[in-house]
Amino acid sequence: MGDYLLCHAAFVLPVTFACYKTDGDLKRLKGDTAYFNKMIDANIEGYRALKNSGHVILPKEDTEFEGEKYRKTCVKFFTLMCATGLGKICASDHAMNAIDEMSTLNRDLKKLFEETGAAYPVWQELETDAAKYLQK
């Protein structure tokens, strides 16, 4: 899998976990900035593991993924997704209809975490929230 696809998976999977936590209704997370920050923390854990294993973080705008600017941009995006129908169009419809794909991506990224010795406690917490959908 190329760097861009790995990075995409590291961003999309925490959003997928949110979809599964809410049974596909992201509006249930409207205004939940604490949960949005957990999604960002999980994404950062993924990006950090990728970067530390020699992958390039893409798109280039995400290179500074541990900075405050990145976090603010993500919170704005998640706020918009969960307050409007955008979340259904951008994330939940696909996540709810692609459980096999999302489960495979999650297993593959977890292998990377394990192989590189990366810590991913927030990822694991969100994964637990999504357990009723994820396939082992």
Residue spans per domain, the chain: 3-129
58 and 117 in contact (C-beta within 8 Å)?
no
Q: What is the pLDDT of residues 51-84, one digit of tens each?
A: 999 999 999 999 999 999 999 999 999 999 999 9
Residue 108 corresponds to which tokens in the numbers above? 């593959």
Question: Residue 30: which region, alpha, beta or left (left: phi > 0; alpha: psi -120 to 50)?
Answer: beta
Whole-prediction pTM? 0.94
Q: What is the pLDDT of residues 95-123, one digit of tens each?
A: 999 999 999 999 999 999 999 999 999 99
Residue 57 carries which DSSP code? P
Please check the confidence at residue 1 and state whether its pLDDT lies above 80.
Answer: no
